[in-house]
C-alpha cells in the first residue's frame, strides 16, 4: 500500500469554527483555558442539531487526537466533563425517546439482515452503486473520514468492561480491525489509501468543517457508548449493527468505486470489509453480544438501544445525502470538496 503518505494522525487538527452558543462555549473554553459558559440553556438546543453535535464532537475528540494548541490535560478538565455530561444527557434522552427498545435482541439483529430480494434498495450504497458519480463518492469519503480514520478506536473502549467469552471475541475482532499486527493493514490506514486515491487530504479531522450534524451524530454515538461503562450493552449493540450491515453495503460501495473509475486502492478498503465483516458478523452476534447477555442478561434493552439508535442516526444521515444528491446539490457544509 501507500508508503509515502504522511500518517493521518501524526498531528492534531485545528479547532473548528463554532456553530452556535454551545459549541462556541466549548471552543472558547479550549482557546482561553477557562470553563465553558453558554448563554443558551442546553435543554433548549436541538439534540441532533449542528451546535450540540459539534460541541459534543469537540469534547469527545479530547479523548482521541485532541486539537492543535489545546493542552492534553484538558481531556480530564472537570468543568469540560461536567458540560459534556449535560450535552450527553440531552442527546441520550432524545435517543431513548425516539428509538423503540421493546423488541428482543434476536429480533433487532434479524431485522438488520433484511435485504431487498432484488438488491435494488433505496439506501446510500445502492444510490452510489447505481447512479453515483465520482463526486458523490468523494463527498461520501470526506464525511466517512470522521469515522473511518479512527474506525476501531471507539469500540476498543468497551474491552475493559467485558469479560470471558465476550471480551475474547471483541478483542479478536478488534485485532483484525487494527491490521492483525501489520500497520499498513489497519483499516484506518486502508481508508486513508482510499482517500488518497480519490485525491483527498488524508489528515485526521481535516474535513470536520464539511461534516453536517447528521454525520457528527453517528460518530458521537460511538464515543457516547464507548466512554461510559454504564452503556457497555449499547456499545455492543452498536458494534453488532455495524458488523451485521457492513458486508453487503461494502460490496456495493466497492462496485460503485470501480464503476466510477477509481483505482484499486480505493476499492480495496471495501473489498476487505466484504470478507472480514461477513466473519465478524457471526462472532459479534454469537460471542460478543451472546457472551455479554449470558453473563449480564439485564443489558438486553441497552443492546437493542445500541442497534436501533445506530440505524436511526444512519437513516437521518442517508436522508440528508440522498436529498442533496438527487437534488443536484452537495451534501457537504463546505463546497466544493477540498482536495490535496
Q: Is the pLDDT of residue 338 over 60?
A: no
Looking at CATH, the fold of the domain delimited by 105-326 is given as Heme Oxygenase; Chain A (1.20.910)
pLDDT value of residue 39: 75
Q: Are 199 and 340 in contact (CB under 8 A)?
A: yes
Q: Is the pLDDT of residue 232 over 70?
A: yes
What's the whole-number average pLDDT of the chain?
A: 91
Q: What pLDDT digit, counting tens, does each position of 73-111 carry?
A: 999 999 999 999 999 999 999 999 999 999 899 999 988
Lowest mean pLDDT among 2-11, 120-129, 262-271: 2-11
Return d(Cα 58, Cα 159) in angstroms, integer.
Answer: 24
Return the domain boundaries, the chain: 21-98, 105-326
pLDDT value of residue 277: 58
Return d(Cα 290, Cα 337) in angstroms, integer.
Answer: 42
Residue 157 DSSP one-character state = T
Q: Determine phi and psi for 187, rounding to 5 degrees.
A: -60, -35
pLDDT value of residue 115: 58
Q: What pLDDT digit, counting tens, does each position of 283-303 carry?
A: 898 999 999 999 999 999 999
Query: What is the percent of the chain with per-residue pLDDT over 70, rounded to a whole number?
Result: 93
In which band, very low, low, confident or very high, does the pLDDT at 265 lie, cut at 50, 70 and 90?
confident
Q: Is the pLDDT of residue 117 over 50?
A: no
pLDDT value of residue 174: 92
- Three-class secondary structure assignment of 70-133: CCHHHHHCHHHHHHHHHHHHHHHHHHHHHCCCCCCHHHHHHHHCCCCCCCCCCCHHHHHHHCCC
Q: What pLDDT digit, counting tens, does each position of 21-58 carry?
A: 999 999 999 999 999 987 778 888 899 999 999 999 99
Q: Is the pLDDT of residue 246 over 90?
A: no
Q: Is the dihedral of CA 99, 101, 105, 107 positive or negative?
A: negative
Q: What pLDDT digit, counting tens, does each position of 139-165 carry?
A: 999 999 999 999 889 999 999 999 999
pLDDT value of residue 340: 47
Amino acid at each position: 500500500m501507500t508508503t509515502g503518505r504522511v500518517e493521518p494522525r501524526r498531528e492534531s487538527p485545528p479547532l473548528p469554527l463554532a456553530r452556535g452558543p454551545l459549541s462556541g462555549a466549548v471552543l472558547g473554553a479550549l482557546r482561553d483555558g477557562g470553563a465553558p459558559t453558554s448563554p443558551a440553556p442546553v435543554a433548549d438546543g436541538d439534540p441532533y442539531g449542528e451546535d450540540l453535535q459539534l460541541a459534543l464532537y469537540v469534547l469527545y475528540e479530547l479523548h482521541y487526537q485532541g486539537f492543535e494548541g489545546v493542552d492534553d490535560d484538558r481531556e480530564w478538565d472537570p468543568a469540560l466533563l461536567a458540560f459534556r455530561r449535560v450535552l450527553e444527557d440531552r442527546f441520550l434522552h432524545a435517543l431513548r425517546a425516539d428509538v423503540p427498545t421493546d423488541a428482543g435482541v434476536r429480533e433487532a439483529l434479524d431485522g438488520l439482515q433484511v435485504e431487498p430480494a432484488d438488491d435494488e434498495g433505496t439506501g446510500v450504497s445502492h444510490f452510489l452503486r447505481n447512479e453515483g458519480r465520482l463526486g458523490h463518492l468523494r463527498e461520501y469519503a470526506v464525511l466517512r473520514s470522521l469515522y473511518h480514520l479512527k474506525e476501531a478506536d471507539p469500540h476498543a473502549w468497551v474491552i475493559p468492561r467485558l469479560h470471558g467469552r465476550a471480551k475474547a471475541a471483541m478483542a479478536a475482532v478488534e485485532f483484525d480491525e487494527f491490521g492483525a499486527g501489520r500497520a499498513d493493514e489497519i483499516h484506518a490506514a486502508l481508508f486513508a489509501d482510499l482517500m488518497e486515491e480519490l485525491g483527498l487530504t488524508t489528515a485526521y479531522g481535516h474535513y470536520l468543517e464539511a461534516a453536517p450534524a447528521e454525520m457528527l451524530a453517528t460518530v458521537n454515538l460511538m464515543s457516547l457508548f464507548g466512554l461510559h461503562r454504564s452503556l457497555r450493552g449499547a456499545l455492543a449493540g452498536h458494534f453488532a449493527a455495524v458488523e451485521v450491515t457492513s458486508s453487503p453495503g461494502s460490496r456495493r460501495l466497492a462496485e460503485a468505486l470501480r464503476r466510477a473509475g477509481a483505482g484499486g486502492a480505493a476499492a480495496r478498503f471495501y473489498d476487505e470489509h466484504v470478507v472480514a465483516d461477513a466473519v465478524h458478523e457471526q462472532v459479534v452476534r454469537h460471542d460478543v453480544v451472546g457472551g455479554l447477555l449470558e453473563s449480564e442478561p439485564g443489558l438486553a434493552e441497552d443492546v437493542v438501544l445500541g442497534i436501533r439508535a445506530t440505524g436511526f442516526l444512519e437513516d437521518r444521515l442517508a436522508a440528508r445525502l440522498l436529498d442533496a444528491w438527487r437534488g443536484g446539490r452537495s451534501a457537504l457544509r463546505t463546497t466544493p470538496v477540498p482536495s490535496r
